[in-house]
Amino acid sequence: MQEGARPTVGQYIYQAEAQFLDSDIFFGHGTMEALDEAAWLVGSAIGLAPAELDDALERELTASEINKLDALVRRRIDERIPVAYLLNEAWFAGHRFYIDERALIPRSLIAEYILEHFQPWIEEDRIHSVLDLCTGSGCIAIAIALEFPETHVDAADISADALKVAIKNMQDYGLGDRVELIQSDLFEALGNRHYDIIVSNPPYVPPSSMLALPQEYKHEPELALVAEDNGLDIVDRILAQAAEHLNEGGLLIVEVGESREALEQRFPHMPFTWLSHESGEETVFLLNRNDLTGTR
Ligand SMILES: C[S@@+](CC[C@H](N)C(=O)[O-])C[C@H]1O[C@@H](n2cnc3c(N)ncnc32)[C@H](O)[C@@H]1O
């Protein structure tokens, strides 16, 4: 680059990538590596949609864009704030969501199963009602509503703060008539409602593991991450109550992350099906309603 010349979009992305690689930051809240993180931050901060970025790489940045980007890169490195919170933007199942520190950054493995329409586990034409338990930003509930235009989705969370984020997302997608947000401690406020699928990405990090998590996680609500009882508190309660809220033949699909081993030890007779994921991770289980009765 010439002395004094302003960098192009592409040059700035490589410069930010180098700064990220030279720092201690952790990737995993939307991207898995420095170049993707830099491209996302730069593109979005200067108002480019992902599809527009390639064509803009040769464009010279303006002085005010450079100031804005410099400040964001510094905050990413110095304060370890995930890009999603810096930009108030997250991508999930191909859709853009508003996000801020009141809710967990969307990244659940469940996105893949939504896009596959939960095949081959349930006939698509019998998915009329879905519950997204522990909905946070509403990303799972909204992605399901967008994939299944005839389906009603309830989205429950105990956190009033998280539900404010979910309301914004639901309004942004105009889904007010098909996604119902409910403040509830798990099933408590759901009365006698029944569903064809109950899906959940609940908190499952054991309190003892919290200290070891990279600093980026400290910006997320603790309520969204930590579960007592070695990470199993919430999942255990879901397993105990889900059958009462599932229609005959209904499915329970739950992400449990690092708690898989502890869960299998606690419920050795529960016939979990562990769903394969393109990342290689197998930490989302599926159970049929019948599996839930009599196996605890
Ligand atoms: C891991 S986050 C998942 C958020 C969102 N579903 C996602 O995948 O991005 C877990 C969510 O569970 C909520 N939560 C924690 N305890 C709960 C409870 N007892 N009942 C309902 N929701 C709870 C938290 O507020 C948080 O929004």
Residue 138 belongs to a domain with what CATH number?
A: 3.40.50.150
Q: Is residue 94 part of a domain?
A: no
Going by C-alpha positions, the residue among 287, 202, 286 that lies closest to residue 237 is 202
Q: Is residue 268 part of a domain?
A: yes
What's the CATH number where 20 sits? 1.10.8
CA 110 to ligand 1: nearest atom: 8
**Ligand 1 atom 14: the closest Cα is on which residue?**
134
**Ligand 1 atom 12: the closest Cα is on which residue?**
134
Q: Is the CB of 154 under 6 A from ligand 1?
A: no
Find the 203 Cα to ligand 1 centroid distance in Å.
6
Shared domain check, 79 and 221:
no
Shared domain check, 132 and 262:
yes
Q: What is the pTM of this model?
A: 0.96
Q: Is the CB of 186 under 6 A from ligand 1?
A: yes
| CA–CA dist 77, 146 (Å, integer) | 35
CA 225 to ligand 1: nearest atom: 1
Q: Is residue 4 part of a domain?
A: no
**Ligand 1 atom 27: the closest Cα is on which residue?**
136
Shared domain check, 284 and 146:
yes
| CA–CA dist 20, 189 (Å, integer) | 44
Q: Is residue 103 part of a domain?
A: no
- The parent domain of residue 24 ranges over 9-87
Shared domain check, 157 and 81:
no
Q: What is the pLDDT along the chain (296 residues), one digit of tens a residue?
A: 556 789 999 999 999 999 999 999 999 999 999 999 999 999 999 999 999 999 999 999 999 999 999 999 999 999 999 999 999 999 999 999 999 999 999 999 999 999 999 999 999 999 999 999 999 999 999 999 999 999 999 999 999 999 999 999 999 999 989 999 999 999 999 999 999 999 999 999 999 999 999 999 999 999 999 999 999 999 999 999 999 999 999 999 999 999 999 999 999 999 999 999 999 999 999 999 999 986 55
Shared domain check, 236 and 114:
yes
Q: Is the CB of 162 under 6 A from ligand 1?
A: yes
Shared domain check, 135 and 72:
no
Hey, is 184 helix, strand or coil?
Answer: coil
Shared domain check, 287 and 173:
yes
Q: Is residue 157 part of a domain?
A: yes
Q: Is residue 150 part of a domain?
A: yes
Among 87, 118, 150, the domain boundary falls at: 87
Going by C-alpha positions, the residue among 245, 250, 270, 251 that lies closest to residue 260 is 270
Q: Is residue 2 part of a domain?
A: no
For every residue of 8-49, DSSP letters joined together read: BHHHHHHHHHHHHHTS-----SS-SSHHHHHHHHHHHHTT--
For every residue of 101-113, DSSP letters joined together read: TTSPPP--THHHH
Number of domains in the chain: 2
| CA–CA dist 71, 135 (Å, integer) | 32
Q: Is the CB of 232 under 6 A from ligand 1?
A: no
**What Å distances lie between residue 277 and 110, 111, 286, CA to CA?**
9, 10, 13
